[in-house]
Amino acid sequence: MFLGIDAGTSEIKALVIDGEGEIIASAGAMLSVQRPHPLWSEQDPAQWWQATQQVIHALRHQVGALWPEIRAIGLSGQMHGAVLLDRDNAVLRPCILWNDTRSAAECEQLTANVPELHAVTGNLAMPGFTAPKLLWVAHHEPEIFERIATVLLPKDYLRWLMSGEMIGDMSDAAGTLWLDVARRDWSDSLLNACGLSREQMPRLVEGSQPAGKLRAEIARQWGLSEQVVIAGGGGDNAASAVGIGAVNPGDAFISLGTSGVLFAVNDRFRPNPHSAVHAFCHALPDCWHQMSVMLSAASSLRWLCELLGTTETALMAEVASLSHVEQRRAPLFLPYLSGERTPHNDPHACGAFHGLTHASNRAALAYAVLEGVSFGLADGLNVLSEAGTQLDCCSLIGGGARSPWWAQLLADVLNLPVVTHRGGEAGGALGAARLGWLAVGGDVQTVCRKPAVLHRYLPDAARHQQLQPRLRQFRQLYQQQRELRHR
């Protein structure tokens, strides 16, 4: 059996798969995000470890007598977070997360100081990435910066606690802006530009390679063998791709989680940074991928539910009862609650409802949010197309994949068939478990097969055309907001 642990933003998820790749147990423990100032987003790494211990305890209870048969562990995690350790491996400050946008000025500095940045990393400098965060720490917390001995990404901090090894993988490292993505190695010039060196970085391996074993103390606590291998693992989206079987060029998926992602697999490094498309290493050797990323997807719906004091289930039921006429009269929503990445690279973009009237009930607001997120993904698909990536079909994963209504709306907006899979909500945890399997000799074609299809949602051509005027207005509203801010 194989254990996969996904260190997400809102939850630590974990599951166990058997030798046939079937999920036999799963568990989760919720996390909280701290926002001590506007634009800031932080977590205490100790919270991740506490939550990991909780899910291990729950899984061990579920699996029972078979638990000691686990042979390998894979790790997946939220990308870009900066865990700063001193020489004694103590955490120096809370982890600055991927959706923290305080470092916009540092992005401009990095871009100006490193002319080769885009060519080497394949990405624009954005506040969510790790490198600008370290420049911010250097500028605003110099006494902490001087004490940094090691910088780890979130899942790799968990690896260190589990194994005592400071190791990272290519897919996660690609999101730091310190990796030469084509060469799959740290870039000394980019590290230098941030006042750092290779000695402060973890050793890099491919996601499907062994990357440590359980420490004896942890093995005893967890009731597992000290010979359990920990795989390199992957950033959350690359691991999710492994879980959904998106491992061959042309494979693609949409992830509707806290953020919204359109992910397409490539057989080579294909950067298109000027459209804010991400070009990263995949979690498998000799494989890359492109992504469009919006910062607030399912989290926009969660925000509205908290505002209205209701549940997602109740609100989705109300949305499903709206007629097409009522949908066309609904407000428009800009889903930029945390700024935006693709295609705008605008940390100052903000959310907005437009077109509110006395007739705007909560079902109409919820429809606007779901449609606005779908329009944001349409913007991402558009720039992927401009980058030369043509998609014929998309799998749908993440929490949003549980809603047939939203899946059909996505198919209609994108004019693209959308497919959901059994276990698709497992996301990065399933991919992590598969990477663990690969690290102890599993065959890629066997391990990374696509899960069984649950539903296919075919685009309605008439509905697609009906949505185009609202999509055009959505895009105009963002441009007007941007112009107003500039004035």
Average the pLDDT over 31-44 and give the result. Answer: 93
Backbone angles phi, psi at 40, to 5 degrees: -90, 150
Q: Residue 88 has which token pair?
A: 């004694």
Q: Give the residues across from 83 on adjacent strands.
A: 152
Q: Given this model, what pLDDT does residue 427 score?
A: 77
- Say whether 126 counts as a known binding-site residue: no
Q: Given this model, what pLDDT does residue 5 score?
A: 98
3-state secondary structure of 70: coil
Share of the chain above pLDDT 90, in %: 87
- Say whether 80 counts as a known binding-site residue: yes
In a domain, 35, yes or no: yes
Number of structural domains, the chain?
A: 1
In a domain, 277, yes or no: no
The CATH number covering residue 93 comes to 3.30.420.40
In a domain, 469, yes or no: no
Identify which has the larger pLDDT, 224 or 101.
224
Neighbours of 294 (CB within 10 A): 26
In a domain, 64, yes or no: yes
In a domain, 130, yes or no: yes
- pLDDT tens by residue, 283-299: 999 999 999 999 999 99
Q: Given this model, what pLDDT does residue 276 score?
A: 81
pTM given for the model: 0.89
Answer yes or no: are the C-beta atoms of 132 and 107 closer than 8 Å: yes
Q: Residue 386: is its pLDDT beyond 90?
A: no
Q: Given this model, what pLDDT does residue 273 score?
A: 81
Average the pLDDT over 222-229 and give the result. Answer: 97
- DSSP for 87-149 reads TT--B-SPEEPTT--TTHHHHHHHHHH-TTHHHHHSS---TTSHHHHHHHHHHH-HHHHTT--
For residue 30, the enclosing domain spans 2-237
Backbone angles phi, psi at 27, to 5 degrees: -155, 160
- pLDDT tens by residue, 188-205: 999 999 999 999 999 999
Q: Alpha-carbon distance 156 to 173, whole Å?
A: 10
Q: Confidence band (pLDDT; 50, 70, 90) for 86?
A: very high
Please name the residues in contact with 395: beta carbons below 8 A apart, sequence gap of 6 or more: 244, 246, 252, 253, 254, 418, 419, 420, 421, 424, 450
Taking alpha carbons only, the member of 134, 147, 120, 32 closest to residue 81 is 134
Q: What angle do CA 429, 430, 433 make, to 5 degrees?
A: 85
Neighbours of 216 (CB within 10 A): 10
Residue 44 burial (C-beta neighbours within 10 Å; 0-12, 13-18, 19+)? middle
In a domain, 398, yes or no: no
Catalytic center residues:
236
In a domain, 386, yes or no: no
- pLDDT tens by residue, 338-357: 899 899 989 889 999 999 99
Q: Residue 403: is its pLDDT beyond 80?
A: yes
Q: Confidence band (pLDDT; 50, 70, 90) for 181?
A: very high
Backbone angles phi, psi at 41, to 5 degrees: -150, 115
Q: Given this model, what pLDDT does residue 446 score?
A: 93
- pLDDT tens by residue, 117-151: 999 999 999 998 999 999 999 999 999 999 999 99
Counting Cα atoms < 13 Å in the Cβ hemisphere of 356 gives 8
In a domain, 70, yes or no: yes
